[in-house]
Amino acid sequence: MVMRGPHAVELFVYQVGFGDCLLLRFAYDDHPRHVLVDFGSASHDTLLPVAEDIVEKVSASGGTLEAIVASTLRRDHVSGFGHDDAWSALKTLKPKLVLRPQTTSDATTRAFAQTAAQEVQRRGAPTSSTEEDHDELSDGLRTFGVTASRALRFISRANLDTEAAEKNLSAVDQQERLSFGDATRLEALLPGVRVHVLGPPRARVGDGGYLGVSAAATSWSNGGKSLFARAKQVNVRALPNSVRWFTRRLDTMRGDQLLELLRSVDDSVSNASLILLFEACGKKLLFPGDAQAASWARVLEEKGVAELVRDVDVYKVGEHGSRNGTPRSLWNSFSKRGTSLLTVLSTMERKHGTKAAGTEVPRTALLEVLERESTLVSTMGMKALVRALPLHAPAKRPARRRRGAPPA
């Protein structure tokens, strides 16, 4: 007997601050089936309450957690999977499948992030990435200059603390590493639901990408050891004023170099995000992770993709509303507007970037477009832990009969 597809879809959006956590519910005749798309935050405060609510919602009416999607291995997407108490709660649901992007960037990300931490450690500040160490970490990075230190702190933290999450996710029986065009076992777990893997883009001959970044990480980092271990050490405060300006310039240059490298790997990780499009109950739901313009440029030129995303009904806004997360080429490809297009934004103001530099997240110009041209649901200012968004199938109109024709 062929199982019927779902008769309704519901999306739960969680308030996790600067992070992502969404739960998809597909209502079937026998029991509801769920997919958890990301579970991470820049803060640990809400992780356990969110995990407990997920367990409660999935368990209701004998529901199951069919799969976990880790769209990118960044702290703001996966830290909940590495949180001891939160993961202890989630694993009671016995997820069947974990979906991750097919990349080689995981170890590279940590190499760069650890290099930043080593620079802080060398200046006498702790390397912990917890929120409690915010001030001390800032002090350690301040020698790089104000602008660089702020960006370094954010990027290094975003890419630290993912090893526990990777370990826990890897313990799930079925694993998939996916890139554009791959088939996924998730369709077998969700009868009647189409799941399109749109990203990360397929590797091309000649791509420098991760190989180049990985080589840079290996050659540039020395594992925290001093380059000239036997050289005489001098406290910079003991140097004459005529020399101090030079050491400050060196520190600023070092910070700029480190920031450039970290931004390279940060962009690479974002552009390697898993992009999934679900088709169910007459609706299309697009989840792009942190994919940026470079990734979308490759994806949208693939045969059939532009047509596939044209009539998207639900769009999870990419990269917390950054200027690169929703490129114009993608937005302009959507044909639906207003109440026909639901956009979901999980973000937090004043966490990253500056308005003066045009790098604030979420980007003001993007917010204005989302509010004007779609039905925007944002976690900014959302006081509740979770918001439910029912996505029912459109009612089917009976076929018009020709005059005199018998009823069907």
Domain of 95, in residue numbers: 8-106+159-203+268-391
Amino acid of residue 277: L
pLDDT at residue number 372: 98
pLDDT at residue number 119: 52
**What's the CATH number where 334 sits?**
3.60.15.10
pLDDT at residue 145 tops 80: no
Tell me how far apart the terminal alpha carbons of the chain are, to the nearest angstrom: 26
pLDDT at residue number 233: 77
The per-residue pLDDT for range 174-226, each reduced to its tens digit, is 999 999 999 999 999 999 999 999 999 987 544 544 434 444 444 444 555 56
> Is the Cα dihedral 261, 264, 265, 267 positive or negative?
positive
Cβ proximity of 110 and 118 under 8 Å:
no
50 found inside a domain: yes
The residue length of the chain stands at 408
298 found inside a domain: yes
401 found inside a domain: no
The domain tally of the chain equals 1
Can you give the C-alpha Rg of the chain in angstroms?
Answer: 23
235 found inside a domain: no
The per-residue pLDDT for range 287-339, each reduced to its tens digit, is 999 999 889 999 999 999 999 999 999 999 999 999 889 999 999 999 999 99
239 found inside a domain: no
What's the count of helices (H) and strands (E) in the chain, helices before strands? 14, 13
CB proximity list for 69: less than 8 A, separation 6 or greater = 35, 36, 37, 38, 98, 99, 274, 276, 287
| Alpha carbons 318 and 276: distance in angstroms, whole number | 12
For residue 210 the two structure tokens come to: 């991760």
User: Per DSSP, what are the bridge partners of residue 13?
Assistant: 22, 387
211 found inside a domain: no
234 found inside a domain: no
pLDDT at residue 92 tops 50: yes
CB proximity list for 234: less than 8 A, separation 6 or greater = none
Distance of CA 278 to the CA centre of its chain: 17
38 found inside a domain: yes
